[in-house]
Amino acid sequence: MTMIKRSEVRAAQSRAAEFLTQVGIQLTPEEKVNIEIAEFGLDELERTGLELVVYVNTDRYCAKELVLFPGQTCPEHLHPPVFGEPGKMETFRCRWGKVWLYVAGDPTNPIKATIPEGSEEYYTVFREIELNPGEQYTIPPNTLHWFQAAGEGAIVSEFSSTSRDEFDIFSDPRIKRMPEIEED
């Protein structure tokens, strides 16, 4: 596993902020510098990664913006039960672009997304839900899912129960959810 360089984090934060500004979602200066860059320790942010703005995350609820660059994939994972709670339930509402969300169920054949090369064995759910602006889907707790932006990228608002990302379980054992940043 590799660490992402601070300069790469800043560049991705700037790009994500530009995406949000272009579609009319305004961020405070503090929110801009706190955009989380989830590169999952794979050193392939453009292909496998996610940019997040966390507005609120309390012991009752959470609200975020998810920014996906063109073709970027958030890898297969689930939100398990934690501290006696059932795990995070989340609603994704597409704000801009197009995102393909995959969950368990009758597989769609063929799928529209492209599984990141070299990671095929770690993608196991293929029921495709296409989300266009204004469309939403709710993912139950403890449910395997993954998603990918179409060619122009996507912005998705997430409304959920408490987010405890450090407990997420990824199908790919190489993934490290919490970023390790190398100063440069």
| Residue owning tokens 């993608």 | 123
- Chain-centroid distance of CA 52 in Å reads 7
Q: 42-75 pLDDT, tens per residue?
A: 999 999 999 999 999 999 999 999 999 999 999 9
pTM exceeds 0.75: yes
Q: How far apart are CA 135 and CA 93, in angstroms?
A: 6
Q: Where are the domains of the chain?
A: 4-176
Q: How far apart are CA 28 and CA 138, in angstroms?
A: 28
Pick the CATH number of 4-176 from 3.40.50.720, 2.60.120.10, 3.20.20.390, 3.30.9.10: 2.60.120.10
Q: Are strands 145-160 and 90-103 parallel, antiparallel or unpaired?
A: antiparallel
Judged by average pLDDT, the poorest of 37-46, 73-82, 87-96 is: 37-46
Q: 100-156 pLDDT, tens per residue?
A: 999 999 999 999 999 999 999 999 999 999 999 999 999 999 999 999 999 999 999
Q: 119-133 pLDDT, tens per residue?
A: 999 999 999 999 999
| The token pair that represents 161 in the structure block | 């129960």
Q: How far apart are CA 158 and CA 81, in angstroms?
A: 19
Q: Are strands 50-57 and 36-38 parallel, antiparallel or unpaired?
A: antiparallel
Contact criterion met (CB below 8 Å) for 1 and 41: yes
